[in-house]
Amino acid sequence: MAEPNFVLLYVDSPPVSAAFYTELLGRPPVESSPTFAMFILSSGGKLGLWSKQTVEPAATVTGGGGELAFAVADADTVRAMHTDWRGRGLTILQAPADMDFGHTFVAIDPDGHRLRVYAPSAS
């Protein structure tokens, strides 16, 4: 059975978004053009940034309709990443907080895509 391993985000400007994610992920895209950029993640998954003006079929929903989630080891790492991302100028939608699933915060990228960092609750 095939499983998803590639997330595509529809963005206004792939070069601008690629620069943002290069800084955030600490790695350059493996592919980059005016309409598309792609990152290979250390997990083996892929992150694609596709121009919302050229995606086929046309997208009816863009930024904010879902989240990219970043699992980290513990609450201290969540707080450290929050401080780092806030210092980089990312807009923070939710400050670090305890929720049912763990300690978390939420930021957004330049296109309004939600970026959730979380440390899962101990089971």
- Residues β-bridged to residue 116: 69, 106
Mean pLDDT to the nearest integer, 22-34: 97
Number of other residues whose CB lies within 10 A of the CB of residue 119: 21
Q: What is the pLDDT of residues 77-99, one digit of tens each?
A: 999 999 999 999 999 999 999 99
What confidence tier does 112 reach under pLDDT thresholds 50, 70, 90? very high
Please say whether the beta carbons of 78 and 103 come within 8 A.
yes
Residue 123 has pLDDT above 70, yes or no: no
